[in-house]
A and B are shown apart, each in its own frame.
Chain A
Amino acid sequence: MRFRHAFIIWQKEILDAVRDRRSLIIAIIVPLLVMPIFTLGPSYLRKLQVEETQQSVQGIVIQNADQAPALVAALKASHNLKLIEPKSNDETALQEGKLALIVNVPQGFEEKLSKEEKTSLEIRFNPTKSTSQTARDKFDAVLRAYQKQIVAKRLEVRKIPVEVFEPFSANYQNVASREQLGGFVLSFFLPLFLIMWAAIGGSQAAIDTTAGEKDRKTLEMLLVTPAGRSSIVLGKILAVFTVTMVATLMIMLGFALSFTYGAQVFGDVGEQLKFSLQPIVAVLMFLVSAGVAAMMSAWTFALFSWARSLREAQSYTTWISFGSIVPAMAVQFRETAPSLVLFLIPLLNATLVFKELLLGEINGLDIGVTLASSFVYALIGLGVATQVFQNEKVLFRQ
């Protein structure tokens, strides 16, 4: 093997990838956006929904309102429900979502309350309409306050203190630090995307440099140069690895942007997720990502070299991305400490290490085993890829 030839091939493949729009989208634009979208996006949408719900006013009808003047007064005081005069087509309006609730007050409702007799309200709502659901929640809140008020009056008459019904209060204290909370939220997203992009970030470059070379009919020109097959394979795999590492960096940069500037752009939502990684944790995560990227670059290169055409190679990427997220998903809900053997399983090991690091645990042995095993798998992948590139049946099986 001549490293000079591998370097020349690496240079050319990088130039080719930089000029390939699809490569840039997969390796730079999508990974840069994916973390902000998945972390800030849902929180921001939830915030918008909450604000909308709080600010909007839903229309409700109280039938026989004169039987419950105190309740009506409480509803009017709440200002977030609009009382509408009953009409004959109220049922249809409720079905269509134009009306949020119909409350039917029975005859003598307040009289019965004053006599401490049992009575009930009939509230008709439509769960298929969000306005009706929201109005129900608001109406419930007013009812609970009203009921509490009545109970308090009854207890006062009987000279019974309210504490009889509330002997103590529970005061929950959050012991997790802001970093731990942020790490917990992140441990759901970051490992998943880091692994996924380590697997597919360089896929377009890998396809282009293998099946693409067959499709363009440039492969034979390359094979007749003095560059040996192992130099060709090394140069190309290093190029795929470089593109993959750029994608990984973009994931981390996207993450840094979301958590650094999220507060400025999205206000409260970004503030809740404000979180910074310790530099050592960021470095270790990058190292482990590099191990995964090296392994996946070699193996995906071998796989794509096998493909007859660009189309066949592209069809493999679906399976690669699906296969890569399975271990990441499996780890999400695992709480117990994993055994060391699990750190020998490719992809699963890196996901476990990412989760440990994000939850503030730096376990040298777990990281060492993960890095060493990823390196060994990368070398095996390089060997397999070189064998595939020596196989004339594979190279010329178009």
Chain B
Amino acid sequence: MIEVKNLKKSFGNFKAVDDVSFDVKAGEIFGLLGPNGAGKTTTLRLLSTVLKPDAGQIRVNGFDVSQEPDRVRAQLGVVADSNGLYDRLTATENVRYFARLYDLPEANIKSRMDELFPKLGIDEFANKRAGQFSRGMKQKVSIASALMHNPPIMIFDEPTNGLDVMAARQVRQFIKECRRPDKCIIFSTHIMREVEELCDRIAIIHKGKVAAIGTFSELQQQGGSKDFEEIFVKLIEEDDRAL
């Protein structure tokens, strides 16, 4: 569903994404794992058309991000850790606003809210203004906003950042429930345990490059260990030596 080929993006002299390639298949949860500043968010911003690539190609559900950015965006639901809400709007108003921008018909907005709000536990604060929300509440509303149009491709960029244990657990549980045979999920994080728990395949991103890619067992073989943290550190060190 997603094909990324030789993707490059620099900010001045800094190469944020340097020749990154991967693909994501339907039914898959694909993990992007890397330390802070590795290039995960820039890759996802390129994928969601917020940034334009310097070189390379990205196809999302058959649409090229450079040629048909509007169509690409309609295929995506993007949840970023930095997502905020409009403080003077209620949770419902925030969600409805984005649903309308995703061209969801008015009739479907309510039924979709009825489906998503109980799952995310938004019901109890649905009519309160977002200015009073905790970070966990905000993240739940931002997930609902991003997924109201039931997109085939979901992108979660460090969605548990800054959340307490219970809220993070709820978000991970929700992502698991989003898995469908005809949909794919990209999940970016720097937390090993989340990758182990959720992802079918993983790309380890380091200094803008893909240091390793494969299923969990393939990476275990490549790293020569069963402990994922050890595998991660070893692969990154190997990559550093190669650079």
Contacts and interface: CB of A to CB of B under 8 A. Distances in A.
B101 A227 contact: yes
Main secondary structure, interface of A, reads helix
A224 interface: yes
A222 B101 contact: yes
Contacts of A392: 50-52
Interface in A96-112: none
Interface residues of B, number: 32
B89 interface: yes
Contact of A226 (B83, B85, B101, B146): B101
Contact of B101 (A15, A16, A225): A225
A218 interface: yes
Nearest to B97: A12
B97 A8 contact: yes
Interface string A143-169: 000000000000000000000000000
Interface in B65-106: 69-71, 73-74, 76, 78, 80, 82-89, 93, 97-98, 100-103
Given A15-B89, A226-B101, A218 B84 contact: yes
A343 B165 CA distance: 65
B49 interface: yes
A138 interface: no
Given A221-B78, A224-B49, A226-B103, A16 B83 contact: no
A223 B50 contact: yes
Interface string B40-76: 0000010011111000000000000000011101101
A19 interface: yes
Nearest to A12: B97
Contacts of A16: 86, 88-89
B73 A225 contact: yes
A199 B45 CA distance: 35
A216 B48 CA distance: 20
B160 interface: no
Interface in A1-49: 4-5, 8-9, 12, 15-16, 19-20
Contact of B70 (A15, A19, A221, A228): A228
Nearest to B80: A220
A217 interface: yes
16 contacts: A8-B101, A12-B97, A216-B84, A216-B85, A217-B84, A218-B83, A220-B50, A220-B78, A221-B78, A224-B48, A224-B76, A224-B78, A225-B73, A225-B98, A225-B101, A226-B102
